[in-house]
Structure 1
Amino acid sequence: MTHNSSSEVVIRRLYQITNKYSDGFEAQVIELLNMGLERLNLDIGILSRIKGDTYTVIQCVTPDEVEMAPGDQFEYKNTYCEITCREKSVIAVEHFAINDHYATHPAYSAFGLESYIGVPIFIEGELYGTLNFSSVKPYPRKFHEFDLDVIQLMASWIEVEIIRRKQEAKLTALNAKLKKQALSDPLTGIANRRGMFKHLKKDINRLSRHSSSGYLMILDIDFFKNINDKHGHQVGDKILISIAKKLKQSIRDYDFIARFGGEEFLLWLPDTKEGQEQSVYQRIMTNIQSIDLLDSTITASIGACYFELMHHDNMAFAHKVDELIAKADQALYQAKRNGRNRIEYYHPDFL
């Protein structure tokens, strides 16, 4: 095979491996290591990570008699990669024992490897690690310039792929953060109306798969406008934040709360029979009244609507939620009419 045709085969193989994104990064690296070992006729292929004084094996391909696995660690100064990283370029040594420059390196006495070719990997200007191939046997010929080019190409792809994966991870995290922000109230950190509707839709679908019951409640802070007028909006905001925290402390693990708007909060108590909501209500009222507001006590009024969902209830989600909210709102109005600082339950006779 001519040099040109050999080069074409190598480049084609590199292209095939580096475009197998569906295989995953680890599988691609192992294929690159195997390709390098075949191309160079060496025994050990390693992708390493270097942090401080520690050399960590990220991926490796070795003969059965060599005990090495991903996660193995060595002292960085006792590896040939220390030479590679110090030189900041491809290093190729055919026979360490007769190389006056490298034979005294501690890696030679530590590992006894006779031939080695390695290249440093830099990510955004910072040393990441190395890609290297080696053997306990001297290399039978001088490494060709193309050998150095091939390992450099492999390392370049690894550099680009690691950067791409880091950027992809950042983008995924950013998207998750933006999605959470879109569903959360920026002041209290609990769900906003959009997050509320998303949760209720999912939970109503779950509950309608089997007969179930529960409560939807709307809580309104009593005389909140007076608090804002007297103490200022900063204090008002602190009260809203405290209310959200107290509500989270009061509900059960499977309950749900959201900021419904202004000083109103929605509480969703699924899988709850009539009467079982009382313990939650008592905790809510006690916890809210424990909020310190200098010259007065914080209280709240609650309107509650009990619901039953029959098996495969076909009522449209939006209609079901609107109906429950409207009923809870009527009950809340009744609680305010009856003196506030109390809970009222929806009744069809409410005007």
Structure 2
Amino acid sequence: MAESITLDLEQSFGALNECVLVTNPDRIIVYANEAVARLLRVERGDLVGTRTKRFFADPAEFEEIGELYRSPEDPQARKKAYAFEVIRSDGTTTSVEVVNAPIFNSTDILSGFLFVVRDISERKALEKKLSDVALTLEDALEAISEGFAIFDSDDRLIICNDNYRDIYTHSTAAIVPGSRFEDILRFGLNSSQYNTGGLSDDEWIGQRLEKHRKADGSVIEQNLADGRWLRISETRTRSGGTAGIRADITELKEARARAESAYKNLSLMADNVSASITEIDLEGLCVFINKTGCEWFDGSPEELIGTSLRDRLPWKEREVLRPIFRQALLGQKVASEVSLNFPDGVRRECHLDCNPRVNDQGDVEGLVVLVNDITDRKKTEQTLAELYAITSTRELCHEEKIAEILSLGCEHFELPFGIISDIDEDRYTLTHTHAPEGELVPGTTFPLGDTYCALTLQANGPIATANAAQSEFAQHPCYELFALETYIGAPLLIDGVPHGTINFSAPEPRKRDFTAAEIQIVRQFADWIGHEIARQRDHQALMDAKINLERVASIDDLTQVLNRRAFLERANTEIQRFRRSKQPFTAVMLDIDNFKQINDQFGHAAGDEVLARFSRSISNALRAVDVFGRVGGEEFCLILHETQENEALLVCERLRRKILTDLQMEQIEQTITCSMGLAVAAREDIEFSTLMQKADTALYQAKASGRNKCVIFGSEPAPTTD
């Protein structure tokens, strides 16, 4: 029978997601579905037959739930939901909620209890989180230095902090949760809380309710009867209610009144000064600021007066100013040069004069601060010093100096692109460029009329725009093609003749207009670049002339090969190389056979033509590393680089046969041949003259044995096969 009941329970509750547990009257588990096993992290088979007490974290809770078994027919006990902590098999705990139903047999005797168990750990965690949020909200409200209140969608007070009640002391009795906003206002009016400014109570309340119901975040200034001023800002909550904050601005209003009086006396003079002039009180709040100061601090007098100007600066700047102001507040005049990032986005090098303002008793009441912008002066001094360093150094070549000057110009003007151009009629060519990502490529050419440089050349001097869209530059084709908003450039003159331009540009407008000092800087760049290009041209011309002179001094005019002096210099170099590396080479003496006979029979012009053809034929057949020169009238010498005796002989035989082909001339009725003497460099050849003498001896043997031969020094002449 029990097995049948268990099967019925399994069929009913086995796959249910809810945890179902059945116990007998002795609180021993007789059935548990799979959900219970998952909750307690235990095998189902290990549950049946065990007492439930093992799973209670608190024994007192086990005893409390025992009342079910003692009074199973008690309706209150059956309706009650029990919440307690259970221990899982792995030792962890979780929170559960249990509802129950007693099970009676057919004779109304208690057979046990059926429990439905729910895991409520997540719900309890959420309830705790909500409780923590509520406590945090209360703490936050009390931490707010201003008065704060929230009204619901029916305009009834939900919550407010103590500061709110302290502000409206006459209305404290009405400021309780559930009170309507209008009722609180009327209570305050009846208690003479407000200064209505001559309006009737209904008119004043009507205006106040209208602004309250808008709750659009706009600022409302409210005057209380005791003279205090409040700044009120109200916004709509997500639930349709209203959240409002009240700040006491009495001191601010008084400071503004004082500032307005001072402003009338000083504004006319101060607004015509290019420096920033401000006055601050002992609390560091601004009571006066001139037009330049407003521009630098990026606000109107109404927005800035009564606030801390120092707090509008980055923290590093505040730290720099702190000791200056502290010293001035002691009654000392302080002058200092500082670098400041202003709220208008511009970093300025400043000369700051901080002067204490004292009353009749000699006490300091505030500070008058005069700030002059010396950025241009400092930048100009630094740039000129760097320009001098670049132009005077010997560590940089011509191209490197120009690149450094372009980089210096981009840094000085705070612009990304720098260009030096060459202009040929109506073509504009980039010769040197500076660009962050290499966007500008030297050699690129544009029509001159499509560039701002056309305007520069027309002006015959420096021109600049910090905002092309707001100037005549907007009408130029360059603006449409390249969208350059900022440009400063000057013509390059070389020996008084226009060569091109130097210019710096950016696609964004510049924050400040170009100053006269910056116009002079770009003119200085242009002058130096022009002088440098002219100097480089003169230097190149000198180097070309030097090369030509060296060539003339080393090349034989008739044959266009090395003359005797130049050849011997190269030959001695080869000897030195041979002594260091032991790499062999061969010296070859060459002589045109019967050359005197050619001169005598056919004239010196024909002889000169033979010499020229001979040297050309030999030169064209040699390697670049070989050395060839004319060392006498019809005598030549050749150095075959890294060749041994057999290799050299093969080369010379090839050259000899080539002469037979290349030097036969119609006007000369004889076969033109040549003889060659070869000598391979040996250890005893300390000077090339020794080796040359050996080759000359071999040449003599070649001629003596019939000419038109190649003879190696120290060997017998071989018969000619031609």
TM-score, length basis structure 2: 0.43
Pair 1:341 & 2:708 matched: yes
Instruction: Please point out which of 666, 669, 673 is paired with 1:299.
Output: 673
Question: What SS is found at the alignment partner of 1:301?
Answer: strand
- Alignment-derived partner of residue 309 in structure 1: 682
CA displacement 1:285-333 (0-9 Å, x = unmatched): 222222133311112222333x3534xx6x532xxx2222222223323
Instruction: Please point out which of 92, 95, 98 is paired with 2:470.
Output: 98
* Count of residues paired in the alignment: 341
Task: Give 1:20 deviation, angstroms.
Answer: 3.0
Task: Supply the distance in 1 between the matched residues of 2:410 and 2:403 (Cα, whole angstroms).
Answer: 11
Task: Supply the distance in 1 between the matched residues of 2:400 and 2:627 (Cα, whole angstroms).
Answer: 43
Q: Confirm or deny: 8 A CA contact 1:251 1:280 kept in the other structure.
A: no
Task: Supply the distance in 1 between the matched residues of 2:527 and 2:489 (Cα, whole angstroms).
Answer: 13
Question: What SS is found at the alignment partner of 1:150?
Answer: helix
5+ unaligned residues in a row in structure 1: which ranges? none
Instruction: Please point out which of 527, 536, 553 is paired with 1:156.
Output: 527
Question: What SS is found at the alignment partner of 2:395?
Answer: helix
* CA 1:34–1:287: 2 relative to 1, 3 Å: closer
Q: Confirm or deny: 8 A CA contact 2:649 2:712 kept in the other structure.
A: no
Task: Supply the distance in 1 between the matched residues of 2:677 and 2:524 (Cα, whole angstroms).
Answer: 68
Question: What SS is found at the alignment partner of 2:526?
Answer: helix
The letter of the residue matching 2:462 is V
The letter of the residue matching 2:675 is S
- Alignment-derived partner of residue 392 in structure 2: 19
Question: What SS is found at the alignment partner of 2:647?
Answer: coil
- Alignment-derived partner of residue 45 in structure 1: 418
Task: Give 1:159 deviation, angstroms.
Answer: 0.7
* CA 1:340–1:164: 2 relative to 1, 3 Å: same
Task: Supply the distance in 2 between the matched residues of 1:211 and 1:122 (Cα, whole angstroms).
Answer: 57
Pair 1:192 & 2:563 matched: yes
Question: What SS is found at the alignment partner of 1:216?
Answer: strand
Q: Confirm or deny: 8 A CA contact 1:254 1:270 kept in the other structure.
A: yes
Q: Confirm or deny: 8 A CA contact 2:586 2:639 kept in the other structure.
A: yes
Task: Give 1:106 deviation, angstroms.
Answer: 0.8
- Alignment-derived partner of residue 86 in structure 1: 458
- Alignment-derived partner of residue 323 in structure 1: 690
CA displacement 1:213-247 (0-9 Å, x = unmatched): 44322222122122112222121111101110122
* CA 1:201–1:146: 2 relative to 1, 3 Å: same
The letter of the residue matching 1:128 is H
Task: Give 1:208 deviation, angstroms.
Answer: 2.7
Pair 1:114 & 2:481 matched: no
Question: What SS is found at the alignment partner of 1:77?
Answer: helix
Q: Confirm or deny: 8 A CA contact 1:94 1:142 kept in the other structure.
A: yes
Percentage of matched positions with identical amino acids: 34
TM-score, length basis structure 1: 0.83
* CA 1:138–1:336: 2 relative to 1, 3 Å: closer
* CA 1:154–1:270: 2 relative to 1, 3 Å: closer
Task: Supply the distance in 1 between the matched residues of 2:504 and 2:709 (Cα, whole angstroms).
Answer: 76
- Alignment-derived partner of residue 77 in structure 1: 449
- Alignment-derived partner of residue 406 in structure 2: 33
Range with greater deviation from structure 2 (86-95 or 196-205) = 86-95
* CA 1:334–1:161: 2 relative to 1, 3 Å: same
Task: Give 1:41 deviation, angstroms.
Answer: 4.4
CA RMSD of aligned residues (A): 3.1
* CA 1:147–1:208: 2 relative to 1, 3 Å: same
Task: Supply the distance in 1 between the matched residues of 2:434 and 2:654 (Cα, whole angstroms).
Answer: 61
5+ unaligned residues in a row in structure 2: which ranges? 1-350, 352-373, 718-722
Question: What SS is found at the alignment partner of 1:116?
Answer: strand
Question: What SS is found at the alignment partner of 2:543?
Answer: helix
Question: What SS is found at the alignment partner of 1:208?
Answer: helix
Question: What SS is found at the alignment partner of 2:697?
Answer: helix
Task: Supply the distance in 1 between the matched residues of 2:509 and 2:712 (Cα, whole angstroms).
Answer: 87
Structure with larger RCO (C-alpha < 8 A, sep 6+):
1
Question: What SS is found at the alignment partner of 2:645?
Answer: coil
* CA 1:34–1:292: 2 relative to 1, 3 Å: closer
Task: Supply the distance in 2 between the matched residues of 1:347 and 1:128 (Cα, whole angstroms).
Answer: 67
* CA 1:30–1:301: 2 relative to 1, 3 Å: closer
CA displacement 1:148-172 (0-9 Å, x = unmatched): 2211111010011111122222222
The letter of the residue matching 2:574 is D
Task: Supply the distance in 2 between the matched residues of 1:210 and 1:9 (Cα, whole angstroms).
Answer: 55
Q: Confirm or deny: 8 A CA contact 1:207 1:309 kept in the other structure.
A: no
- Alignment-derived partner of residue 234 in structure 1: 605
* CA 1:89–1:341: 2 relative to 1, 3 Å: same
The letter of the residue matching 1:299 is T
Task: Supply the distance in 2 between the matched residues of 1:113 and 1:214 (Cα, whole angstroms).
Answer: 65
> Which one has the largest radius of gyration?
2
Task: Supply the distance in 2 between the matched residues of 1:344 and 1:138 (Cα, whole angstroms).
Answer: 83
The letter of the residue matching 2:549 is L
- Alignment-derived partner of residue 274 in structure 1: 645
